[in-house]
Amino acid sequence: MDYKSSGVDIDAGHEVVERVKRLAKSSFTEGVLSDIGTFGGLFRPELTGLKEPVLVASADGVGTKLKVAFLAHKHGTVGLDLVNHCVNDILVQGARPIFFLDYLATGRLVPAVSVAVIEGIARGCKANHCALLGGETAEMPGFYADGEYDLAGFVVGLVDRAGIIDGRCIEPGDALIGLAASGLHTNGYSLARRVLFETLGLRVDSVVEELGGAVGDVLLRPHRSYLDALLPLVDDAARPVKGLAHITGGGLTDNVPRILPDGMAARIDRAAWTVPPIFRFLQQHSHLSDAEMYRTFNMGIGMVVACATDVAGAVSATIAAQAEDLNAVVIGSVIEGHRTVVYA
């Protein structure tokens, strides 16, 4: 009897670590002072120009979107999903990411799969200008089904205290600008899988004309990062952005109120943007109410920017200048109320 016969392959673990080292190094920034494989990651932040630096941290996962990756045998984008989701979560407070950590757990370690996942993480870190500082790959036989794994990420960012975006300056009459999502992002997959795979009997390779491609490809479209598109506005000394809401679990209904001060509510015009086909298809075949749809899915809006009405045009133009493929439109306004969303 030995450890390998119990289900843990130390040699496979070493193989993954050696291959991950090369991937992680490709994301290293000047602040990294350690290599992958040490007990802890060392990072020296650049604080020049920050009068009162504040660390901002967040942790998240990819949810049951992983189930789609398992079915499709495509593991190269879920790591990108993870990084982009976490980066967006700290971006809404005005922070830019400086380093990232990951946790990958599986029942049986398959080096090719683990490396594909972490390659996506490294790619996401490079795209978001932060370092993959370290992580953990855990082999846990008997805990996860064969061929499955779980994934979590942890991001740390920096913001000057004076530049923290917290919504406190939001007032009635302010505009709400919606930034287009790339798809479901990383929320609502338990319901989407039930509708598509259980109710309709579709497979990941089923091509649906209304969706414009195979079901698996549509569902695995990566969660979009809004970092590069919003940084010029976040860094603007004029502070045109009063609040940012990342539209994740809870949809527009639950996430927009998180940035509103007491006594404020949001009025959102659902005719202001075109809801992508995947959401219309899901509603058509599930008979979900509008209320349920807007609280489960992002409905095509991945980020909401709150700003004064007189600068809304300039804010949208700045976003468009940074990302030509990113549609940004005014979808509503701030009204008096009790931190709720009113749909028109």
The pLDDT value given to residue 11:
66
The pLDDT value given to residue 9: 64
At residue 15 the predicted structure's pLDDT band, cuts being 50, 70 and 90, is confident
Question: Quick check: 167 and 259 in contact, CB under 8 A?
Answer: yes
Domain with CATH 3.30.1330.10 in the chain: 4-163
What is residue 5's predicted lDDT score, i.e. its pLDDT?
A: 56
pLDDT at 322 over 70: yes
In this predicted structure, the answer to whether residue 2 has a pLDDT above a threshold of 60 is no
Print burial letters for 288-314: b (CB count within 10 Å at least 16), e (below 16).
beeeebbbbbbbbbbbbbbbbeebbee
Q: What is the CATH number of domain 175-343?
A: 3.90.650.10
Interval 17-74: pLDDT, tens: 788 888 889 999 999 999 888 889 999 999 999 999 999 999 999 999 999 999 999 9
At the fourth CATH level, the homologous superfamily of domain 4-163 is PurM-like, N-terminal domain (3.30.1330.10)
Provide the pLDDT for residue 172: 97
User: Would you say residue 3 has pLDDT above 70?
Assistant: no
Distances (CA, A) of 153 to 108, 122, 139, 341: 20, 12, 17, 30
CB 86 within 8 A of CB 60: yes
Nearest to 27 by CA among 116, 117, 99, 125: 125
Give the span between the Cα atoms of 225 and 139, in whole angstroms.
Answer: 30
pLDDT of residue 69: 98
Question: What are the pLDDT digits (tens) for 184-197?
Answer: 999 999 999 999 99
List, by residue range, all CATH 3.90.650.10 domains of the chain. Answer: 175-343
Q: How confident is the model at residue 324 (pLDDT cuts 50, 70, 90)?
A: confident
